[in-house]
């Protein structure tokens, strides 16, 4: 069992703070999705499961890679402080940006759907699909020139 120096323990504490900030960011991303799509109980359960699965994998990876598999209480305390710092200092701003981004994406999606619907209506008015079907039927009829040469 390796002994961490004070410098390595301080680095591990700072890394655990970053782990906490990342956890808070993940929480806010999923919270913004839940708010934007007005999720029911089933969708909320799925998002909660995704959050806990990612968090569990992240903490496990952190413990194996950075903490060298050694259980250290200050790592969990650092991650908890990182979450608290994130929620106090950055959470509202990140939620505002994510909400605006989701609203802009929804607006762009609706604009694309409307544009596609208008294009389909115009094509129906012009009669292009009917012209394409008529032309395809003409092509299917074999030409007399090709029949004399044995080509169908």
| Cα distance between residue 73 and residue 54, in whole Å | 21
Going by C-beta distance under 8 Å and a sequence separation of 6 or more, which residues neighbour residue 87? 24
pLDDT tens string 74-124: 888 999 999 999 999 999 999 999 999 999 999 999 999 999 999 888 877
Given pLDDT bands bounded at 50, 70 and 90, which one contains residue 2? low
Please answer whether residues 16 and 62 qualify as being in contact, where contact means their C-beta atoms are separated by less than 8 angstroms: yes
């Amino acid at each position: 069992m390796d002994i961490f120096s004070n410098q390595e323990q301080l680095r591990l504490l700072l890394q655990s703070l970053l782990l906490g900030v990342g956890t808070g960011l993940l929480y806010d991303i999923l919270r913004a999705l839940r708010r934007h799509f007005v999720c029911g109980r089933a969708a909320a359960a799925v998002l909660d499961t995704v959050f806990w699965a990612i968090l569990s994998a992240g903490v496990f990876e952190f413990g194996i890679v950075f903490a060298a598999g050694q259980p250290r209480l200050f790592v969990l305390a650092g991650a908890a402080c990182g979450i608290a710092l994130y929620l106090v200092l950055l959470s509202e701003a990140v939620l505002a940006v994510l909400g605006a981004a989701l609203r802009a994406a929804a607006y762009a999606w609706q604009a694309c759907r409307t544009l596609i619907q208008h294009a389909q209506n115009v094509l129906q008015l012009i009669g292009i699909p009917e012209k394409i079907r008529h032309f395809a039927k003409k092509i299917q009829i074999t030409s007399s020139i090709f029949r004399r040469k044995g080509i169908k």
